[in-house]
């Protein structure tokens, strides 16, 4: 078999080899490290991963792209499994409010926060949203990210805006090299006009919006912001069970600010992931472990909310809950696309080890999007999404923070980013 691309002499090759399923407990640390590694690719597929030289049945010729991995660390392409990628405007005006001590939920209650981004997103044209999200995707790619989940959620009752966001994500997925997987987050805040009758809005979501999103095949997942003053446990249950009926897999923003029982609900409903979990209870974590719900932790958000609290990753890993790490990139609670920075925050604020963290942005992130059979590890047969970093070892990436360590990114077998 002829290779189209080979990366050779890789100082640290992190393969994540093993079963295509979420890694839990001690297994979250097993990263399949190969020193002096080599990877061969044919077209968009990995055909060999090993140590030293290529075996005899794999040939190279003058057309084969040969890349030196000397002094480099190579990993599966990173997966950012929780973002609010497509939105209009920005909210730097909230910084001074935050510094004066105003809480995130109070800003939201006063009609700011998510509501102000809703206005900006509704006013923005399709092209404006496309260009802004494309710029973020380029940044993400340069950081080693090859797959991104993208939520709607800035329509808040304006269904056209929700659809516009999802259509922007769909077009970006067609045109941009980064893969995008969409989530319908129609339940992101209560529209001002339904403040006094929130169930009425839930009814509209259930009867009109979810069926239409499913019918138009605009999303794979359905998410809900289950939070005090937003959607209650009962309302979230109704929304997610309806989503399931229509073939949208459930996800949940759970226990982000107030401890409401979102983790327990995620297990009860059978969510593929529960995200945030800053205030998750012990029972909720145990329920998640039992049902295999993946915890998508977002340390950039807990850092940026500045409440001095963060998800209890150590307890979750101890209880065999699979943990993924994502940016939550959005204009309010985490205005940063930098997953490498989140990896540092996962170490410093969640006390996760570099090995657990790399699993959290590869295999466990893939599993939280239901794509673990195709990506998330480097093994023969998997998609050739590969990131290469200019670092002597994995810990260095987490330790030397605030800069971009990416050297080269390979997507579908092609070099799509090279550090200049």
Using the rule CB under 6 A, is 94 a contact of ligand NIG? no
Show the binding pattern over residues 254-273: x = contacts ligand NIG (CB under 6 A), - = does not.
Answer: --x-----------------
Using the rule CB under 6 A, is 332 a contact of ligand NIG? yes
Using the rule CB under 6 A, is 114 a contact of ligand NIG? yes
Nearest-approach distance from CB 202 to ligand NIG, in angstroms: 17
CB atoms within 10 A of CB 237: 18
Q: Which does 256 bind (CB under 5 to 8 A by kind): Fe ion, ligand NIG, none?
A: ligand NIG
C-alpha dist (Å) from residue 205 to 3, 153, 195, 409: 50, 12, 15, 39
Phi and psi of 385, rounded to 5°? -110, 110
Nearest CB to ligand NIG, comparing residues 237 and 253 = 253
Using the rule CB under 6 A, is 330 a contact of ligand NIG? yes
Separation between Cα atoms, residue 116 and residue 87, nearest integer Å: 11
Tokens describing residue 337: 């696309």
Using the rule CB under 6 A, is 299 a contact of ligand NIG? no
Show the binding pattern over residues 35-74: x = contacts ligand NIG (CB under 6 A), - = does not.
Answer: ----------------------------------------
C-alpha dist (Å) from residue 255 to 99, 291, 312, 386: 23, 18, 12, 34
Residues facing 147 on adjacent strands: 79, 179
Nearest CB to Fe ion, comparing residues 214 and 334 = 334
Separation between Cα atoms, residue 129 and residue 134, nearest integer Å: 8
Nearest CB to Fe ion, comparing residues 273 and 408 = 273
Separation between Cα atoms, residue 242 and residue 204, nearest integer Å: 12
Separation between Cα atoms, residue 343 and residue 352, nearest integer Å: 9
Q: Which range binds ligand NIG by CB under 6 A, 40-48, 126-134, 330-338, 376-384? A: 330-338
Nearest-approach distance from CB 341 to ligand NIG, in angstroms: 16
Separation between Cα atoms, residue 169 and residue 43, nearest integer Å: 26
* Token pair 């092609």: residue: 414
* Token pair 């030397």: residue: 400
Window 324-353: residues binding Fe ion (CB under 5 A): 328
Show the binding pattern over residues 284-323: x = contacts Fe ion (CB under 5 A), - = does not.
Answer: ----------------------------------------
- Interface ranges with ligand NIG (CB under 6 A): 84, 113-114, 117, 225, 253, 256, 301, 328, 330-333
């Amino acid at each position: 078999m002829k290779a189209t691309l080979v990366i050779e002499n890789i100082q640290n090759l992190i393969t994540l080899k093993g079963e295509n399923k979420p890694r839990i407990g001690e297994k979250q640390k097993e990263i399949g490290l190969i020193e002096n590694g080599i990877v061969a690719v044919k077209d968009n597929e990995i055909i060999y991963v090993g140590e030293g030289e290529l075996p005899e049945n794999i040939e190279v010729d003058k057309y084969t792209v040969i890349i030196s991995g000397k002094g480099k660390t190579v990993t599966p392409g990173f997966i950012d499994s929780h973002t609010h990628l497509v939105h209009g405007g920005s909210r730097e005006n909230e910084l001074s409010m935050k510094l004066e001590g105003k809480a995130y939920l109070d800003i939201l209650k006063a009609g700011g926060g998510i509501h102000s981004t809703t206005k900006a997103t509704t006013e923005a044209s399709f092209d404006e949203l496309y260009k802004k999200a494309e710029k973020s995707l380029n940044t993400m790619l340069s950081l080693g990210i090859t797959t991104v989940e993208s939520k709607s959620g800035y329509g808040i009752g304006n269904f056209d805006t929700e659809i516009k966001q999802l259509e922007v994500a769909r077009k970006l997925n067609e045109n941009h090299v980064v893969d995008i997987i969409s989530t319908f987050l129609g339940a992101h805040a209560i529209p001002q006009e339904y403040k006094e009758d929130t169930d009425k809005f839930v009814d509209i979501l259930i009867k009109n919006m979810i069926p239409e999103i499913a019918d138009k095949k605009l999303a794979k997942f359905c998410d809900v912001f289950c939070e005090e003053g937003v959607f209650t446990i009962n309302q979230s249950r109704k929304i997610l069970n309806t989503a399931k009926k229509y073939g949208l897999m459930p996800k949940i923003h759970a226990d982000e600010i107030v401890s409401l029982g979102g983790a327990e609900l995620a297990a009860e409903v059978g969510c593929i992931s529960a995200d945030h979990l800053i205030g998750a209870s012990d029972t909720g974590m145990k329920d998640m472990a039992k049902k295999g719900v993946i915890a998508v932790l977002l340390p950039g958000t807990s850092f940026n909310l500045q409440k001095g609290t963060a998800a209890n990753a150590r307890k979750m890993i101890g209880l065999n809950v699979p943990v993924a790490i994502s940016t939550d990139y959005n204009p309010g609670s985490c205005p940063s696309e930098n997953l490498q920075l989140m990896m540092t925050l996962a170490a410093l604020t969640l006390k996760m080890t570099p090995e657990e963290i790399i699993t959290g942005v590869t295999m466990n992130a893939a599993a939280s999007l239901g794509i673990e059979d195709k990506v998330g590890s480097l093994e023969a047969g998997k998609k050739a999404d590969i990131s290469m970093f200019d670092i002597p070892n994995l810990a260095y990436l987490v330790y030397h923070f605030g800069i971009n360590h990416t050297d080269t990114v390979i997507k579908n077998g092609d070099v799509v980013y090279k550090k200049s």
